[in-house]
Amino acid sequence: MSMVCPQPSKLAPVITLIPLFVLFFSGVPVHALNVGVQASNAAVSVTKDCSRKCESEFCSVPPFLRYGKYCGILYSGCPGEKPCDGLDACCMKHDACVQAKNNDYLSQECSQNLLNCMANFKNSGGKMFKGSSCPVEDVVNVLSVVMEAALLAGRYLHKP
């Protein structure tokens, strides 16, 4: 008799992130989310600052991912900054959408638009900005898991 090992579900990371999204984006002011994450590397931060340079750090770590100027949790470009590439432009559009919806990070429309934009970028063979150390698959996969969790949390909380 052969035993079959169960494969981890692709939904496991999404389900794990739902409580995080409910906590993060259920009306809690952004400054209240600064829980004092510390690391030996002083460059690691989860505070809400704007970016003026194209970055590619922590490519596969959702809480710390920084890609371009606009992709990452609590990370965005400064007003008037141009995106670093097409993928960064997807994140910039998502940030603008969320802002237009009173900072509703659980907006179904904004989350789905970002997923569609990232899929189009990846499927069209979009190029990452020069100097990026992140593979497109890593960034798209991390952001997709986060957006899928946002979609599930938004459905649960009945967000349009």
Enzyme catalytic residues: 94
Q: Nearest 10 degrees: CA dihedral of 62, 66, 68, 73? A: 60
* Closest by Cα among 118, 109, 123, 111 to 140: 118
* Closest by Cα among 72, 108, 70 to 92: 70
SS3 label, residue 67: strand
Structure tokens at 99: 């802002």
Q: How far apart are CA 113 and CA 157, in angstroms?
A: 19
Q: What is the 3-state secondary structure (H, E, C) of 83-134?
A: CCCHHHHHHHHHHHHHHHCCCCCCCHHHHHHHHHHHHHHHHCCCCCCCCCCC
